[in-house]
Every structure is written in C-alpha cells, then in structure tokens.
Amino acid sequence: MDRPTMLRLAQRLGVSRTTISNAYSRPEKLSADLRERIFATARELGYEGPSPLAASLRTGRTDTLGVLFTDDLGYAFTDPVSSQFLAGLAEHAQDAGYAITVVSVPRGSDSNPMAKAMVDGLVIYSVDEDSPGLSAARKRGIPAVLVDQEPQEGVPSVNIDDRAGAVAAISHLAELGHQRIGAITVAAGPTECALVSPYAESASYVVRERMAGWRAGAERAAIPMPTTISCPANERVHAGQAVRLLLEAAPETTGIVCLTDELALGAIAALEAQGRDVPRDLSVVGFDDSSAVAVSKPALTTIRQPARAKGAHAATLLIDQLRTGVTGPSRVLETELVVRDSTEEPR
C-alpha cells in the first residue's frame, strides 16, 4: 500500500495541500467542521501529519531549546547538580511548549555536534572558555543564555554568587578556630591530582570564582592561603589521592573546603578509610547542597545553591528572548551556608 501523504489526503477531500497544512499549523484559518473532516479522513488513511523536519525548514523553528555542556552526556544526567538544573529547565520549557536537546562537546572530542544542532535557542551551561562547542555556538549566532559562565555584554546570564559562597565556607571554618585549611578543586587537563597554587587559573568560570572566594575568605580571616589540590574531574574517585597529597603537603591541616559536594563526600570517605574521623580529626565543607548529601554520614556542612531554580530562570530568559526578541535582565542567585555535622572546632 502506498504511504499516506498530504497530497493523497488533499485529493481525497478535494482541497489543496495548503488547506491540509493549515489544519495542522494554522487552525485559525479553517472552520472547526473542516478541520474535523480533515483529521477524520487523515485517521482513516493513516496520515500522521506534516513532517516535523519539513515544518521546521519551512518556518525556521524547531520549538527546541539546546543545552550545551563541556562534560559528557552521562555526567550531565548523573551529576546531582546538573540533573537538578536540567529538571528545572525542562519543566519550565515543557510548560511553554518547547522540547530540550542536550548537546555535549567533551574536552578533547574530535566531533562538534554544536555546529549542526537543530535548536531555536541555547543555554550555555558551565562550558570552558576554550571549548570548540562554545566557539561553534558563537559563530552561529543562536539566541543564548549563559549559565555558570563569565557574564558578557548583551547576553543574559543566570549565575549563583559562587564567590560569596566560597567566602562563607572558609569563614565558617575560621570562625570555628581552624587556621590551616586545605582546598580541593578541579582543573581541566591533568589526568591526576596535583598540588597547585591557590592563585591557579582555570578555564571554568565557576572554578575561578570559588577559588577567588576561598582566597578572599582567608584574607578576611587573616589566615594562610589554603593549600590547594586540583583534581582532573569532579568525581569522588579522585578525592582519595587529593586528600593524600593535601596531608603530605600540609599535615597540620584541620579543615578542608571542596569545590563541590561530590568531592567533599569523596574526601570524607577517603579520610575515614585512613582511620581519620570527620569532624573530630578534620572538618569538611562542600558546595551545592545536592541531593547526594541527604544520606551522607556525617551529614555534610555545605553551601546551598538553588540549582533547580537556576534552570527555571534560564528557560524563562531564553523563551522570552525567542518570543519577543528582547534580552531580559541577568540574574545572580544567592547561596546559603548550611551547617551540619561534618564541621566542628579543631582539637
């Protein structure tokens, strides 16, 4: 049997293909009776409607929002903070009639799907400044919103106050009496953890801001700069090596601040594997207040960020930009210190 097409449906009804197209894409141009007659005949023929690809080529719209990541797709959906961000973005986009496409251009990748991604607008989420995906997005000139990125003139952004959160983490330990503090961060490139300067540069805006906050917090508390260990990725598996290097470089350390909750939880597990108690021997502070800390033992002291709300704000800014052509105001969301059981006065 021949495949049902718009032409066959139009011939069966004795109308033009434009009339059939209007029934699906511009219903206000047809009477309710005619639309119902078209849909009934379409069901009879097994015609499922115009090709989405053809419609997007005709209108120039896909009704799809893209989300650009530097990390691989698996990380995007399994990292607790990224998954919460995506949930907030997807929920708001769905309510507005948009789908979501996640575009990943990992570091060192030979492919660049961003160059061909079929999206109307783009959320650029925590992407390294030297990412080829970011370069491709800029060349295409797609309407965009920056999230966890360096703010740019003329491009709306949604960030959290990373620097203030990092200051609060260091200040909390200093107020408890900790004088020698270590820091565990992340840098793209190295395959192993390494001791780095607390002033080390990073391609990541979030890393730069949080490290700057640690330095500012140490200056404010009049304590030495944190002994800093950089991991190759935001994964708990690296925390064991990071803790070992930190305590070899600065055995007098009594408190540790971490770039994320994932690294903090990995650090706690590594310390306990060495026979050290948290917080009696060392206090540990995370950053994010992700869903993973709900079951941690001890309960993790951390900096809370509104990851889900960040996703909703990003979707709102991008959809408003697509519908009105106007770029809305950038947002900086506040963080909050959440004190739990992983920190106490040094002994």
Domain match, 96 and 117 both: yes
What CATH code is carried by the domain that includes residue 207? 3.40.50.2300
Domain match, 155 and 253 both: no
Give the DSSP letter of residue 232.
S
Q: 69, 138, 126: which is closest to 102 by C-alpha?
A: 69
Which domain, by its residues, includes 22? 6-59
Q: Could you list the pLDDT tens digit for every one of the 347 residues in the chain?
A: 467 788 888 899 999 988 988 887 777 888 989 999 998 998 888 887 765 545 544 555 678 999 998 877 888 888 999 999 999 999 999 999 999 999 988 777 778 888 888 899 999 999 988 888 888 888 888 999 999 999 999 999 999 999 999 999 999 999 999 999 999 999 866 679 999 999 999 989 999 999 999 999 999 999 999 999 999 999 999 998 999 999 999 999 999 999 999 999 999 999 999 999 999 999 999 999 998 887 889 999 999 999 999 999 999 999 999 999 999 999 999 999 999 999 999 98
Measured distance CA(81)–CA(84) in Å, rounded:
5
Whether residue 34 lies inside any domain: the answer is yes
Whether residue 343 lies inside any domain: the answer is no
Taking CA atoms, 61 is separated from 65, 98, 130, 305, 334, in Å, by: 10, 11, 29, 34, 35
Is residue 90 within 8 A of residue 99, CB to CB? The reply is: no
Question: Which position has the token pair 């020698």?
Answer: 180
Domain match, 195 and 298 both: yes
Domain match, 53 and 43 both: yes
Measured distance CA(271)–CA(273) in Å, rounded:
5
Q: What pLDDT score was predicted for residue 2?
A: 60
Whether residue 347 lies inside any domain: the answer is no
Domain match, 71 and 125 both: yes
What CATH code is carried by the domain that includes residue 46? 1.10.260.40
Structurally, how many domains does the chain consist of? 3
Residues in the chain: 347
Domain match, 272 and 316 both: no
Domain match, 200 and 246 both: yes
To the nearest 10°, report the CA torsion of 175, 186, 137, 102.
-90
pTM: 0.82
Whether residue 341 lies inside any domain: the answer is no
Question: Which position has the token pair 């995906």?
Answer: 133
Whether residue 242 lies inside any domain: the answer is yes
Q: Hey, CA dihedral for 183, 185, 191, 195, is it positive or negative?
A: negative
Domain match, 146 and 32 both: no
Report, in this order, helix, strand and coil percent for the chain, each rounded to 5: 45, 15, 35
Q: What pLDDT score was predicted for residue 26?
A: 75
Boundary-marking domain end, from 59, 78, 95 = 59
Q: What pLDDT score was predicted for residue 273?
A: 95
Whether residue 320 lies inside any domain: the answer is yes
Whether residue 43 lies inside any domain: the answer is yes
Boundary-marking domain end, from 26, 41, 59 = 59
Domain match, 245 and 284 both: yes
Domain match, 180 and 287 both: yes
Domain match, 122 and 219 both: no
